Amino acid sequence: MAKIIPGKNGSKKEVITQKAATLFRKKGFTATSMRDIAGAIGVEAPSLYNHIESKNAILKDICFGIARLFTGNLRDVELGPELYLVKIESIIRFHISMMILEYESIYISDHEWKHLPEPFLSDFKAQRRNYRTRLAAIVQKGIENKEIGALDPDIAVFTILSAIGGIESWQRTGRKTDAKLLEENMVAILIGGLKYPPEIKWVNGSADIKQKAVFHKNMTTIKNRKS
């Protein structure tokens, strides 16, 4: 029936990938059928195979495309001369901007990568691990340089990345917050939390005895529930 109309610079393959990304984010990879994708474009499912190799290949393209962008940025930042905390801030800002520009693809590469077929799954996981390791190395140097508090670098990295990943759910709520406001608030919290010195002692001391009791009560309930 209707022919696939490519966007200005986008090949037909890119049109399919983009529509698929939207559906994968909305319904999940497994719950999205080739017929769903085809229907969203206005075509029958088998027609897609004139342009793409398989459903899995679409997922592969999305995940590795995003991974390449982030790895490229990380390499640039690593080579720069800035203070380590500034490097981290720069990476945080890059992640946030990317999340706002391409949140559908990023959501998929964050949450649907587990459906990649081998050997792509192992490759992707290795890249992911490598990215986080290099990020942790920057944090580690920032700690040694007393720019960043005495935190566990791995924990700091996943805390940052998880926090940013949550922008997806924020985007989905449709709140039309100014992107800059979002970015500045998140940077304030995350960089503020990393900055030397951390004040773990102040925080611990502030929880009074009554509060501890409430917490204990709830945790006890849960433990009983499990047994």
Partner DNA sequence: TTAAAAAACTAATAAGTGTTAGTTTTGACG
Partner DNA sequence: CGTCAAAACTAACACTTATTAGTTTTTTAA
Residue-wise DSSP of 129-172: HHHHHHHHHHHHHHHHTTSB-S--HHHHHHHHHHHHHTHHHHHH
Contacts (CB under 8 A) with its own copies, residues 34-63: none
Q: What is the largest CA-CA distance in the chain?
A: 70
Is the CB of 27 or the CB of 146 nearer to its own copies? 27
Cα 87 to Cα 145: distance, rounded to the nearest angstrom: 13
The region of 40-48, 106-114, 152-160, 177-185 touching DNA under the rule CB under 7 A is 40-48
Whichever of 6 and 149 has its CB closer to DNA, that residue is: 6
Q: Which of its own copies, DNA, none does residue 123 bind (CB under 5 to 8 Å by kind)?
A: none
Among 51, 57, 154, 179, binds its own copies (CB under 8 A): 154
Q: Report how many residues bind its own copies under the rule CB under 8 A.
A: 84
CB neighbours of 59 closer than 8 A, spacing ≥ 6?
24, 29, 108, 112, 113, 115, 116
DSSP state for residue 195 in the 8-state scheme: B
Residues 179-198 that bind DNA (CB under 7 A): none
Cα–Cα dist 147/141, whole Å: 9
Q: Which of residues 42-81 bind DNA (CB under 7 A)?
A: 43-51, 54-56
Residue 4 touches DNA, criterion: CB under 7 A: yes
Is residue 118 at the binding interface for its own copies, with CB under 8 A as the rule? no
Instruction: Pick the closest to residue 17 from 65, 62, 68, 64 (CA basis).
Output: 62
| Triad 20, 128, 82: Cα angle to 5° | 115
Nearer to its own copies by Cβ, of 1 and 218: the residue is 218
Site string for its own copies, 124-153 (x = CB under 8 A): -------------------------x-xx-
Residues that bind DNA (CB under 7 A): 1-4, 12, 32-36, 38, 43-51, 54-56
